[in-house]
Structure 1
């Protein structure tokens, strides 16, 4: 899980241009939105597009499952692993 988690952290940093943050600064279980990294809905859209491009993951923005997977790095890892097994 560590490699995928670090890969996702680096993707978030690159896609959202978080220049002052390193992968070590992002806790796998910390919230990505609000009190965690402080990401917003525009960031979520950009992340969704990056996940689609890199991992061929198709997300429904209105789905409660999608919101659940965007809670933390750990939940994004679960999503990518689940999609890889299904594909």
Structure 2
């Protein structure tokens, strides 16, 4: 899958998995931080994103330090999926 297409798919999945009904994929930029001042996600959301990666891409993140490196923004997640994904 092309990177641009993957990023758009990820944005839609983040909205769906986290029930962010007030957002559209266009509202999320590729490099906007997912946590803190960016999208404002919290630790519960990070667990949901880890489940998303496992369910949709076959990526199992067990080390919290690895999760912090992957769940930075949509662009970082897409790069990681392309490198480690099984689908």
Give yes or no for TM over 0.5: yes
Q: CA deviation at 1:65?
A: 2.8
Unpaired runs of at least 5, structure 1: none
TM-score relative to the length of structure 2: 0.91
Question: Which residue number corresponds to residue 23 of structure 2?
Answer: 21
Structure 1 residue runs of 4 or more that deviate by more than 6 Å after TM superposition: none
Q: CA deviation at 1:66?
A: 2.1
SS of 2:85's partner is helix
Q: Considering only aligned residues, what root-mean-square deviation do their CA atoms show, in Å?
A: 1.5
SS of 2:34's partner is coil
Question: Which residue number corresponds to residue 12 of structure 1?
Answer: 14
Q: CA deviation at 1:68?
A: 1.1
Map 1:7-86 → 2, pairs under 5 A: 7-62=9-64, 64-84=65-85
Unpaired runs of at least 5, structure 2: none
Give the total of aligned pairs.
Answer: 85
Q: CA deviation at 1:32?
A: 0.2
